[in-house]
Structure 1
Amino acid sequence: MKKVLASIGIGNASVDTVLPSETVRPGDTVDADVQITGGDAEQEVGTVRFEIETRYRTEEGYETADIDRFTLAEGLTIEPGQEETRSVSFDVPYGTPVTTGEVEVWIETELDIEMAVDPEDTDYLDVRPTPRLQAVFDAMDDLGFSLHGAACEADPYGRYASGRRFVQEFEFRATAGRFRDELDEVELVALPGADELDLFVEVDRRGGLLSEMAETDERKTRTSIESADRKTVRADLERVVERHA
């Protein structure tokens, strides 16, 4: 009877991932403990899965994406009341989006138990920008742009990067400074890496209705950010925006 009840989630085994901190940055290495506790009956765990996930926007709605996933253990037998802790070390992928606005990133740990409700644990992360991306944010602020919105958008045709289902887009509005009367907004798609930050830039100039309908008010370009120095990045971005304003 206990096994029957466990199969529908009553008296089932449980899992809990303990992180040293919920605050991370892409490129960080994080050490965590996965604590597994047996339920009221012996259960065979096929695999212990560990996934980093987010949601992105498509034309049909929102979809969940695995940023990274791996198997922590296989063929594990959990006795009633048994407590077991597995240590895990993982790298936060550079493609992990920054959790600003409505963007969420979480870790999901799941026990794959055949013929039973799979126990799982969800831990939300506070993902901060890489140093280069933070320098971009600071530089845009210096140039008179304020962050208006951030979202993860589908990239089904690999427009920005092959092999990725989505990208994160940041929308900045010109609210002060020299570009306030020239530009409506600047949109950035950032692809951080270990050695540089690829930045896709779309500059939307102020224009009339016809130019907006024809999208002739939009200029697109691409640049690479290698420095994390605020002044250096500001000078680089100012040249890029000025060239396409």
Structure 2
Amino acid sequence: MSFFNKVLASIGIGSAKVDTKLSQSSIKVGEEAEGIVEIKGGSIEQNIDEIYLTINTTYEKESDDKIIHKQAVISTIKLNEPFVIMPEELKTIPFKIKIPMDTPISTGSSKVWIQTGVDIKGSVDPTDRDMIDILPSDMVEEAMSVFSQLGFKLRKVKNEAAPYKIRKRLPFIQEFEFVPTSGPYYGKFDEIELIFFQIDETKLEVIMEVDRRARGLAGLFSEALDMDESLIQFTIQDYELPTIKATFNDVLMKHS
């Protein structure tokens, strides 16, 4: 092991490399992603202190009238105890990592990836990033389907910094913006914004912000003062899914 090779490895040249291979490209929230992490030894023997996986996304935050993009870690797992990898040696570590129920689904501008980090003593730490398509829970999927049935179209989905009053485990919420394009609510609402908090496999918390379309002088006055928006919060159990359309319909009728 030459001193020159040690110097090169310390700046990442000839150091160990990491490659994570997922068994699936898409997965539903609450389920486990599986795969393997391959560590390929470099030109010298190296001490691998830690290999870890993180589930990540980005979100928007407003600061001084500017939108900044921040990264959030949703979950982290450690895969190993310290070990030594020899030159050109290939080690394979299988893994399972659960996708938390509050992971944003992959739609609109919301992207999720699994990042692999390797802590190597005295060297640049290699990383690997793998995008993964996150699918909604059955309850969220049904709720979104119902809105389509009621004549709404999904216009925008984004992750944004969570207001303090509704913030939970993560620093952001995923917001779904629907606009009425047909049906009984066309012309009554400008837009409907939905936030889903999947408490567990059987319970879904819904926060709905309705933006009523201004009608007449009184309506225009209310709109100018942001009085045309209402915030509604309610919970749906899985056994209520057969009547979820009636639930949303009742809420919308009360605020139209």
TM-score norm. by structure 1 comes to 0.95
CA distance in 2, matches of 1:231, 1:182: 26
Asked if 1:72 is matched to 2:79, the reply is yes
Return the alpha-carbon distance in structure 2 between the equivalents of residues 54 and 172 of structure 1.
Answer: 22
The one of 115, 122, 128 equivalent to 2:122 is: 115
Does the residue aligned with 1:3 lie in a helix, a strand or coil? Answer: helix
Supply the distance in 1 between the matched residues of 2:81 and 2:10 (Cα, whole angstroms). Answer: 19
CA distance in 1 between counterparts of 2:243 and 2:151 reads 16
Structure index of larger Rg: 2
Please say if residues 59 and 70 of structure 2, whose CA atoms lie closer than 8 Å, have aligned partners that are also in contact. yes
Change (3 A) 1:3 1:24: same
Q: Which residue of 1 aligns with 2:94?
A: 87
Does the residue aligned with 2:166 lie in a helix, a strand or coil? Answer: coil
Equivalent residues in 2 for 1:162-241 (5 A)?
162-192=168-198, 193-207=200-214, 208-227=219-238, 232-241=243-252
Decide whether aligned partners of structure 1 residues 52 and 123 sit closer, same or farther in structure 2, where only a CA change above 3 A counts.
same
- Which one-letter code corresponds to 2:9 in the other structure? A
- Secondary structure in 1 aligned to 2:139? helix
Look up the match of 1:31: 34
Q: 1:22 to 1:146 in 2, by over 3 A?
A: same
Do 1:57 and 1:153's aligned partners in 2 also have CA atoms closer than 8 Å? Answer: yes
Q: Does 1:20 align with 2:13?
A: no
Partner secondary structure for residue 184 of structure 2:
coil
Gaps of 5+ in 1: none
More displaced 10-residue stretch of structure 1: 10-19 or 179-188: 10-19
Task: Please give the secondary structure, in 1, of the residue aligned with 2:62.
Answer: coil
Distance in 2, Cα, partners of 1:90 & 1:28: 8
1:90-101 alignment runs, 5 A limit = 90-101=97-108
Q: How far 1:70 moved relative to its partner?
A: 1.7
User: In the alignment, which residue of structure 1 is the partner of 2:9?
Assistant: 6
Q: Is the 8 A contact 1:132 1:228 kept in 2?
A: no
